[in-house]
Structure 1
Amino acid sequence: MRQRNRGRVALAAVAAMCAAVALPGQAYAAGEDAAYTFDPGAKKVSGAEVSTEASALSSGSVYKSSIKRGEKLYYRLNLDAKTNAYVSAVAVPRDGGQVAYGDGITVSIRDSADLQCSSEDARFESAEYPRPIAAYAYRITEKDSSTCQEAGTYNVLIERESKATSSSGAWDLELRYESEPQLKSAGSMPTVAPENWPSASPVPPTAAPQKRSGGTSYYDATSLETGEWHDDIAPGQTRFYRVPVDWGQQIFATADLSNNNASDEFIGSALAVSLDNPAHGHVDDATPLSYSGKPASVSLDPLPPVAYENRYDSTSSVSAMRFAGWYYLSVTLSPKVAKSYGDKAIPLNLRIKVEGTARKSPYAGGAGIFSVTQDDRDMAKSGKSDPEAARSATMRTVGVAGISAGAVLVLGLGVWTLLARRRAVTAPGGPGGPVGSAGSAALAGQAAPPGANGPAAGSPAGGGQPPYGGPPQTW
């Protein structure tokens, strides 16, 4: 009986350890809330304070870098004379550091003579709390332009501005460099932005809200289509979603924050809503939503249908609607909400409407991220994130589980061996004494059947089976 109890205790310990090591993988797979998730394929790169020492970026690649307060960092591009290039930067303040109105980054692309091709900034404005912010710059080839048209070396310059009252810690950067596909027929597209387009808000979706939990970054943003989507958002949290918008289509988005009866204190700029295009260039922000514990709602201003010629408009929100693909919606709830309403997440509804008939792409051949495929539409319908993100998450979970299972297997084998050696010493007849089915029953944590302590049938008298023949064959 004592030996069987030892077996039960040891096996119970192994089972408990199995459960313990499995939990991290299960928690990850369940999608627990986390900080900003950087693309796991991002390559580490350091910005240079001297332009001639800048590291080169490759088209189609993602990079992770960082920038300190007041720094001006250079990265290098090697461009030909015909390809449009886009470089975006997502700035992520570390550890929820304090930010102030006007803090932010400026991204620009410059030629070897330091003439600016384009620039864009991303700023913390009235919503003065840390969250990911994004901006991009581009080099566009144009027949009538004399600036930034030559092949050669170009510089990406990222500048950070932070007030003296803001946290001085470094901000992480996620950089992307994308090349725009060539047109089917050069010179065939209009060079003037449309002057008139539908600006009336459409009839909102009427179907019942469906549950979709937002992602933690652009990388794992949750896919949405036209409809009403229910989520929850905690103070200080940013939720990411993405919507496929094809050529000729418009996107409309509204965020509704539920009531909270814990207080009626007024909080200005409680909810920040932002939209970015497929190249992670900023499109527009909704007016920050104030909150006083009652239901509240905010919408993005109407935006034009996606069109290549939008790039010629002087309004940045119109110009950014220049290509088809995934448009990214981020929603952040101010951490100040927790002081009056607690840390508990507040229900959030998103109403998404994509209007218009999809038109043909102006590009020759495949357009990569600047297109909407049937797979994209299927993902938006199912709510899945990017396939590569899903595969990577699965492999990380499998990897953790594999390492954990291996550790448990080694530990389990050790326990089995220890028990077998103890039985060999304490069994009747001493070492080499009979074990038979009693030993097997003890290993399994079960009572031995009557007569099991005698020699096994067909075994030499007094011999029995070897003290330990290894774990069961099912292992």
Structure 2
Amino acid sequence: MAALTTAPAPALASPGSADDDARGYAFSADARPVPGATSTTDAALLRPGSTYRSTLPPDGAAHYRLDLDATSNAYVSATAVPDPAGSVAASDGIKVSVQNTDGRSCSYDTATIGGSRSPRPLTATGTREADGPLCEGAGTYYVVVERVGPESAGGTAGSGDSEGLGGSSGPSATAGAAPEPWELELTVATEPPPAQAGATRAPEAWDSATPAPPTDEPERRPGGAGFGTAAILGQGVWTADIEPGQTLFYEVPVDWGRQPHATAELGSASGADRSYAVAALHLSLHNPVRALVADARTGYDGRQRAATLPPVPPVGFANRYASADRVSGMRFAGSYYLVVHLGAQVAEKVGPGPFGLTLRVGVKGAAQDGPRYAGRSLPSGIFDVTGAEAGASAGGTGGGGAAMTAVAAGGFGAGTVILAGLMVWTVRARRTGAGASRSG
């Protein structure tokens, strides 16, 4: 029997500990420790609706097990956290795949550091679609998480943030330096099938014009340090401070039929001795299961710069049938995430910071009813914007309806901020409680 992975890493710290702060990522408070096995034979079970914390070795792979029914889609997200003080190459990253018992991949996804060569949390998501040609049917499936990079056993780098792949050495390429293991946050979500058959092709046309960014009076909103601590945003203009090497997380509720857009601006900085930092500001949009939808980046030399997400379609069930990530990723309503990273090299090229960050966030279009699901999603309410109660009380409907429209459409006032905060707090509390009761 294969032994469990025993990488030379410190013991997993409790979520929210000083070790988390040192790594620059806040692991979810309900994340449970789980070992990554060196073989599928000893793979630990990941339960839908739960969040886990694990370790990814510098070589080899970490294996986990899923027990899935025949009709639900499953989404497994892995966020890898490199040491912020370490060195990485542009092509260093992770690959996540879901495989059947015959070793065939249902899907795979990669995420790489990119041209900034700055250590940052990397998120990749594997999918088991119940109607897929290789992965239909109930039974056991496996999640395989591995490192990719110039010298990794995982092979080639992914297609995500792969610009500027040459020139820098990292853990997988630095001679004489032992590569460090990376910590992992894993989430598993399931989506039941719709109660009634609908369109099986992605919309052929949608409004792809880049909307004018909001020009509201800015309101200060510091970001969270992880998906589980993301700060809630609605439409408006929001400001924060960001330091070189830091990653900020924001949560934006997006209902069926609505279309988010965002721009991140880095303010000007004083100082005469400045040089250009490549791909310094990175903005990405992730959907409710944390899969990457779209991203943008820009360099920085101390003069104000902006990174604007490419247009994405309104949230619609049929988007999943598209081949482009920025269309297929907009397949369900719920909490979308804006993740902003400022490259560590900015400290050397421009200055130590902190620097002023402005986020211009818009959510356009009228909220619509979503599909009625033939069952419950796990975590409960993950594809709603009005709380976990909606799915249970409406027989598993996935549509949040128009109740959230006022929150997401207009600028947030103090009262609506409190209301939205209470809604999301309720969702998180119920998800945590539901996950605990299911796992015994």
TM-score by length of structure 2 reads 0.77
Runs of 4+ in 1 over 6 A off after TM superposition: 388-391
Supply the distance in 2 between the matched residues of 1:90 and 1:153 (Cα, whole angstroms): 23
Supply the distance in 2 between the matched residues of 1:355 and 1:336 (Cα, whole angstroms): 36
Identity of aligned residues (%): 40
Deviation at 1:308, TM superposition (A): 0.9
Choose which of 183, 194, 212 in structure 2 pairs with 1:183: 194
Deviation at 1:69, TM superposition (A): 1.6
Alignment of 1:75-474 (within 5 A): 75-142=64-131, 145-163=132-150, 165-167=169-171, 168-185=179-196, 188-263=197-272, 264-286=274-296, 288-364=297-373, 368-373=381-386, 374=403, 381-382=416-417, 384=421, 386-387=424-425
Supply the distance in 2 between the matched residues of 1:270 and 1:340 (Cα, whole angstroms): 10
Deviation at 1:68, TM superposition (A): 1.5
Instruction: Tell me which amino acid in the other structure corresponds to 1:55.
Output: A
Deviation at 1:377, TM superposition (A): 7.1
Supply the distance in 2 between the matched residues of 1:335 and 1:231 (Cα, whole angstroms): 17
Supply the distance in 1 between the matched residues of 2:47 and 2:85 (Cα, whole angstroms): 31
Supply the distance in 2 between the matched residues of 1:132 and 1:94 (Cα, whole angstroms): 9
Pair 103,377 (structure 1): closer, same or farther in 2 beyond 3 Å: farther
Stretch moving more, 158-167 or 99-108: 158-167
Instruction: Tell me which amino acid in the other structure corresponds to 1:127.
Output: S
Pair 266,107 (structure 1): closer, same or farther in 2 beyond 3 Å: same
Structure 1: stretches of 5+ with no match in the other structure: 1-27, 392-475
TM-score by length of structure 1 reads 0.71
Are positions 1:70 and 2:59 aligned together? Answer: yes
* 1:350 alignment partner, SS class: strand
Tell me the number of residue pairs that the alignment of Structure 1 and Structure 2 aligns.
358
**Contact 1:251–1:303 (CA<8 Å) still a contact in 2?**
yes
Supply the distance in 1 between the matched residues of 2:190 and 2:259 (Cα, whole angstroms): 24
Pair 34,223 (structure 1): closer, same or farther in 2 beyond 3 Å: farther
The one-character-per-residue Cα deviations of 1:83-138 (angstroms, maximum 9, x if unpaired) are 11111000111243211111111111111111111111111121211111111111
Deviation at 1:195, TM superposition (A): 1.4
The one-character-per-residue Cα deviations of 1:134-184 (angstroms, maximum 9, x if unpaired) are 111111122xx5421111111111111244532210111000011113313
**Contact 1:34–1:216 (CA<8 Å) still a contact in 2?**
no
Supply the distance in 2 between the matched residues of 1:124 and 1:377 (Cα, whole angstroms): 37
Deviation at 1:297, TM superposition (A): 1.1
Supply the distance in 2 between the matched residues of 1:156 and 1:175 (Cα, whole angstroms): 10
The one-character-per-residue Cα deviations of 1:30-80 (angstroms, maximum 9, x if unpaired) are xx9982110121111111111111011111000000112222121000111
Instruction: Tell me which amino acid in the other structure corresponds to 1:387.
Output: W
**Contact 1:69–1:162 (CA<8 Å) still a contact in 2?**
no
Supply the distance in 1 between the matched residues of 2:201 and 2:404 (Cα, whole angstroms): 32
Q: Which has the larger radius of gyration?
A: 1
Supply the distance in 2 between the matched residues of 1:102 and 1:316 (Cα, whole angstroms): 20
* 2:319 alignment partner, SS class: helix
**Contact 1:48–1:54 (CA<8 Å) still a contact in 2?**
yes
Supply the distance in 1 between the matched residues of 2:141 and 2:360 (Cα, whole angstroms): 41
Supply the distance in 1 between the matched residues of 2:427 and 2:366 (Cα, whole angstroms): 29
Partner of 2:175: none
Supply the distance in 1 between the matched residues of 2:357 and 2:283 (Cα, whole angstroms): 12
Choose which of 5, 10, 24 in structure 2 pairs with 1:35: 24
Supply the distance in 2 between the matched residues of 1:172 and 1:349 (Cα, whole angstroms): 30
Supply the distance in 1 between the matched residues of 2:277 and 2:92 (Cα, whole angstroms): 21
Pair 40,83 (structure 1): closer, same or farther in 2 beyond 3 Å: same
* 1:310 alignment partner, SS class: helix
Instruction: Tell me which amino acid in the other structure corresponds to 2:382.
Output: I
Supply the distance in 2 between the matched residues of 1:102 and 1:283 (Cα, whole angstroms): 20
Pair 96,319 (structure 1): closer, same or farther in 2 beyond 3 Å: farther
Deviation at 1:256, TM superposition (A): 0.9
Supply the distance in 1 between the matched residues of 2:235 and 2:30 (Cα, whole angstroms): 30
Supply the distance in 1 between the matched residues of 2:180 and 2:22 (Cα, whole angstroms): 23
Deviation at 1:271, TM superposition (A): 0.7
Pair 376,199 (structure 1): closer, same or farther in 2 beyond 3 Å: closer
Supply the distance in 1 between the matched residues of 2:356 and 2:90 (Cα, whole angstroms): 28
Supply the distance in 1 between the matched residues of 2:133 and 2:428 (Cα, whole angstroms): 44
Pair 207,361 (structure 1): closer, same or farther in 2 beyond 3 Å: same
**Contact 1:207–1:228 (CA<8 Å) still a contact in 2?**
yes
**Contact 1:220–1:389 (CA<8 Å) still a contact in 2?**
no
